[in-house]
Structure 1
Amino acid sequence: MATSPPLSKRRLSRLLRESREASGLTADQVTDRAHELGATRWSPSKITRLERDEWVRPKLEDVEVLLDIYGIQGLTERAEYIRLAKEARQKSWWRSYDDVIEGKLPGLEPGASRIREVALTLIPGLLQTQAYTRAVIIGGGIVDAEEIDRRVEARMLRQLILDPKADGPKYWAIIDEAALRKIPLETREEQIRHLIDIQRPDLRVQVLPDSAGLHAAVGGAFTMLDFAEDTGLVYTENPVVQRVHDEPADIEAWDLVYQYVSASALGIQESVLFLESLIS
């Protein structure tokens, strides 16, 4: 699986929180001990930010200080923390598109072992053709030609994780019929043909037909990401807010919703036939 700096940072934050809790120390006590070690730029709020994954790029010296405070002395264990910190500091391709990429999802996708997505009104970004992507961006009110080009470019780069030759995640998408009907006429055949041709054992697209009626995900689209060495998460977004849900109870609830929606969707072969009927 590809290295994902945001995922490494997330793992590091979780491990540091667990290490503090295992040591029985509060954030105030950690701050006091850091000051005793000569690290004066520490505060309880800084520790909270680190543990909530609200830091930008982890400093190796900060991680070393915390490892000393938590009594983590084993070379192998310390090396794992430092490895995660170094990976988290790497600059990945999407950092060059910070002006047009919003949210954490593009940075987390490369590190996932499986991605499951329910799309209601748009074709998922990982499955969009270039022409459809451009139409969506323009439909969203973007008029600057250079910005449109950069957004399309970034979207296409995101899709490289689904290349059959890449060590990417399994990907399962459920697309509501409403999203298919909203595809602009000039891009419809190409986009739907792409959804048919891209199917393979580790990449599946199902259609959620109108005949299914009201379904479990009617409240909104979502993306679920599983990770081989970390807890999963659910990503939701709207034009204003992008959110990562990683509480176990939340993940369990979204997983149940996905199962219900999957049961309402057409099977793989039925979905392919349905897609073909839209362009025949």
Structure 2
Amino acid sequence: MSMKNVRAREFGEVLRVVIADTGMNSRAIAEMLDWEERKLVDLINGDAGVSERDLALLLGVCRTPAEDRDRLLAVLPHLGRRGWWQEHGACAPIRQRTLAEHERMARKLVSWQLSHLHTLMQLQEYTRAVVRAGANVPESEVDARVEARTARQVVLRLGLQCVFYVHESVLLAPVGGHEVMEAQLQHLQRLARRPHVEVRVVPLAAGAHAGLAGAFDLLTFERYDPVVFVENENSSLVVEEPAAVAAYQRVVEALDGVALDREESLGSIGQLLA
């Protein structure tokens, strides 16, 4: 089953919140729009599409906040499609709802990181340093971005199976300064000892390897086909085509061949703390 169904569900959930905030029920809103109530209910449940004009009318009636309005208008053209390249403007949105929804529904996450630790593994001060280092993030948004990224970590507490491949250079970079990085490495040790979390270090000694093309997240699900997320400075790509996803799966297999095993990786982290 394609992840286009997840996008429809995400669309409906945002819309449900928007409608709830009006204090009106679906029947009252449908009457204001001269719609059948079933049309609105199907849209909320992710069982139907809508034209941009009708969505604009609905959002106007609901006096939708700008963030929710922009989110719904951004998702609308991609309902029913495989794959999704989304441009964000100057930088990514504060709350990456599509990614968070996919993480929440996933059975397993396999991640490869070249430049910094995965968001799900970051302490708040590490996250703050990463966010502040961004060339296009206004200072006024730093706290909100840190909060939004930290909130995604709930999936670890819910038991999401994770394998984090991380380049050794990431562990050596003093993000946030020495004290922050030391605390982060200690946190990484604790996470790596959880039964559903596996941290695999790709050593500098590996030299050239299949992961040099860039970072990505591979998500697998109980009911849906696997997808890959690739993030850039001001855009993100959801990869759904089976052949393209298979290419990333081959990268994971290659990384497995050069990465330290679980215990060796824990030892590597411990040596940096010694």
Q: By the TM > 0.5 criterion, same fold?
A: yes
Q: CA deviation at 1:8?
A: 6.0
Q: Structure 2: how far apart are the matches of 1:103 and 1:238?
A: 16
- Establish whether residue 135 from structure 1 lines up as the match of residue 129 from structure 2: yes
**Superposition RMSD on alpha carbons, in Å?**
3.3
CA deviation after TM superposition for structure 1 residue 154, in Å: 0.8
**2:160 alignment partner in structure 1:** 169
Q: 1:248 to 1:189 in 2, by over 3 A?
A: same
> Which of residues 209, 217, 220 is equivalent to 2:214?
220
Distance 1:263 1:103, change over 3 A: farther
Contact 1:6–1:108 (CA under 8 A) maintained in structure 2:
no
Q: CA deviation at 1:241?
A: 2.0
The answer to whether the Cα contact below 8 Å between 1:113 and 1:225 also exists between their aligned partners in 2 is: yes
8 Å CA contact retained: 2:8, 2:47: no
Identity of aligned residues (%): 30
Contiguous gaps of at least 5 residues in structure 2: 12-34, 36-40, 51-66, 72-92
Instruction: Judge conservation of contact 1:116–1:224 (CA < 8 Å) in 2.
Output: yes
Of structures 1 and 2, the larger Rg is shown by 1
**SS at the partner of 1:204?**
strand
CA contact (8 A) 1:113 1:228 kept: yes
Tell me which residue corresponds to 1:51: none
Deviations 1:95-114 (A, max 9, x none): 79x75124721221000000
CA 1:60–1:122: 2 relative to 1, 3 Å: closer
Contact 1:226 1:232 in 2 (8 A): yes
Distance in 2 (alpha carbons) for counterparts of 1:61 and 1:201: 35
Kindly tell me: are residues 157 and 95 of structure 1, through their superposed partners in 2, closer, same or farther at Cα, counting changes over 3 Å?
farther
1:121-132 aligned within 5 A: 121-132=115-126
Shift in alpha-carbon separation, 1:190–1:244, aligned structure 2, 3 A: same
For 1:59, which of 36, 39, 43 is the aligned residue? Answer: 43
Post-superposition, which runs of at least 4 consecutive aligned residues in structure 1 deviate over 6 A?
A: none
Within 5 Å, which residues of 2 pair with 1:9-88?
A: 9=8, 59=43, 63=47
Rounded Cα–Cα distance in structure 1 between residues aligned with 2:204 and 2:164: 17
Aligned match of 1:47: none
Residue identity matched to 2:123: T
Q: Which fold has the larger relative contact order, with Cα–Cα distance below 8 Å and residues 6 or more apart in sequence? A: 2
Q: What is the match of residue 6 of structure 2?
A: 7
TM-score for the superposition, normalised by structure 2: 0.66
Match of 2:104 among 103, 110, 118: 110
Aligned counterpart, 1:119 = 113
Q: Residue 194 in 1 paired to residue 187 in 2?
A: yes
CA 1:189–1:231 in 2, change beyond 3 Å: closer, same or farther? same
Change (3 A) 1:207 1:138: same
CA distance in 2, matches of 1:62, 1:231: 18
Distance 1:223 1:146 in 2: 28
Assess, with a 3 A threshold, how the Cα gap between structure 1 residues 62 and 278 changes in structure 2: closer, same or farther: closer
Aligned length: 204
Runs (5+) with no aligned partner, structure 1: 13-38, 40-56, 67-93
Q: Is the 8 A contact 1:208 1:266 kept in 2?
A: yes
